[in-house]
Amino acid sequence: MGRTIAIANQKGGVGKTTTSVNLSASLAYLGKKVLLIDIDPQGNATSGVGVNKGDVEKCVYDVLIDDVDIKETIMETKVENLHVVPATIALAGAEIELVSTISREVRLKNALHDIQELYDYVLIDCPPSLGLLTINSLTASDAIIIPVQCEYYALEGLSQLLSTIRLVQKHLNDQLVIDGVLLTMFDARTNLGNQVIEEVKKYFQDKVYNTIIPRNIRLSEAPSHGEPIIIYDPKSRGAEVYLELAKEVIKNG
């Protein structure tokens, strides 16, 4: 049965979507069958793997709110072995609509039940909040990857995320573990980046991935072409590091 991993941090702009798209594509490139679930109303992971939002008929909103079978929402991407459950702006209302719904925290988990065996990995790109969409993701997952940007105040807000993880572990999903903390957008030219790495390693110790994602212009260009980096520029440093990360994730189980 596949391993389900949520990519989460309630801070925006830390590299969640970049990691979701490129880790998914790298795992697929390494021969794994991968499903990427976009659960952020912005839908950037959806377009990042080459799906035109205008072509989306049913999205993750319909699964969460209207009990549509998740199989009906799965779409192919530009990458072989990589499928996506897309998000559209319709999802923006879900956070509020879920509040009054039965089993509101376990809707995604239940939806995944029948398809998990079809994939080696299911990755979930979470929105920048700790609301019910993120709770659904954590409840449905075996593990979480926490991207942390190598910048000032990197650790800010992480205690809130960690207490949410503990609450989910206690009440909804005692299987959930932190697979790793991923340092992103590292800039070797500044001292700050190195300080942040030290600080994060002191706090999370062996939970920090060996792979550190550098700032790489090709990684920021790829989304506007609707291509993961492995297709957009397979020889770039960005492509190399996300492949390294994929191997680390595979090694973790």
Residues near ligand ADP (CB under 6 A) are 12-18, 44, 128, 184-185, 213, 215-216, 219-220, 223
Nearest residue to Mg ion, by Cβ distance, number only? 17
Which among ligand ADP, Mg ion, none contacts residue 220 (Cβ within 5 to 8 A by kind)? ligand ADP
Which of residues 104 and 215 has its CB atom nearest to ligand ADP in the complex? 215
Interaction partner, residue 13 (ligand ADP, Mg ion, none; CB < 5-8 Å by kind)? ligand ADP
Q: How far is the CB of 238 from ligand ADP (least distance, A)?
A: 6
* Cβ count near 40 (within 10 Å): 26
| Cα gap 52→46, rounded to integer Å | 8
Per CB under 5 A, the list member of 4, 9, 17, 136 interacting with Mg ion is 17
Q: Are strands 82-85 and 75-76 parallel, antiparallel or unpaired?
A: antiparallel
Using CB atoms within 10 Å of the CB of residue 121, give its burial: 0 to 12 exposed, 13 to 18 middle, 19+ buried.
buried
| Cβ nearer to ligand ADP, comparing 58 with 212 | 212
Distances from the Cα of 2 to the Cαs of 60, 92, 172, 184, 253, in angstroms? 19, 28, 19, 26, 10
Name which of 195 and 220 has its Cβ closer to ligand ADP.
220
Nearest residue (CB) to ligand ADP, 41 versus 223 = 223
CB 91 within 8 A of CB 63: no
- Determine the straight-line distance between the first and last CA of the chain, rounded to whole angstroms: 12
- The distance of closest approach from Cβ of residue 36 to Mg ion in the complex, given in angstroms and rounded to an integer, is 12
By CB under 5 A, name the binding residues for Mg ion: 16-17
